[in-house]
Amino acid sequence: LNALHEEMKDYGFTILGFPSNQFGKQEPGENHEILATLKHVRPGNGFVPNFLLFQRGDVNGDTEQGVYTFLKNSCPPVGDSFENPTNRLFWEPLKINDIKWNFEKFLVGPDGKPVMRWFPRVPVSEVREDILKYFRQLFSQSTQQNID
């Protein structure tokens, strides 16, 4: 994600990270510990995100952050089942439109409307291609409007 952010930031694109502990309890630390965990544990090797990282919060269930309610209601679900054992999912109730696992991604357009959603295991290279296709579409529409 760092490389994607670096490549596209000059186009007004940014990545926002929202840590959550709802998937296998993989983010158990306090908010002030998250960056150190990223740097030294997972993924480790000195990794430091070059994008905005928010405080940890819930992305699913009765206590989900409002931004996720909005995103999930704006884009269709990325699958019709939870591939991970449900005993590793820490929220209730489980809904088909829920975030399935860490690193599910959304693309929000410049107008603030969500336009795409990707399953967590979709390679970043595929996400990149989809974003570039969306940028080309936006540019084409903008150019056409300027001609009219």
Ranges under pLDDT 50 in the chain = none
The residue ranges of every structural domain in the chain are 2-147
Supply the pLDDT for residue 85. Answer: 73
Name the CATH superfamily for 2-147: Glutaredoxin (3.40.30.10)
Report the alpha-carbon distance of residue 144 to residue 37 in Å, rounded.
Answer: 47
Contact 67, 58 (CB under 8 A): no
Supply the pLDDT for residue 147. Answer: 60
Contact 114, 75 (CB under 8 A): yes
- What is the CB-side half-sphere exposure of residue 107 using CA atoms within 13 A? 22
Q: Are strands 105-108 and 114-118 parallel, antiparallel or unpaired?
A: antiparallel
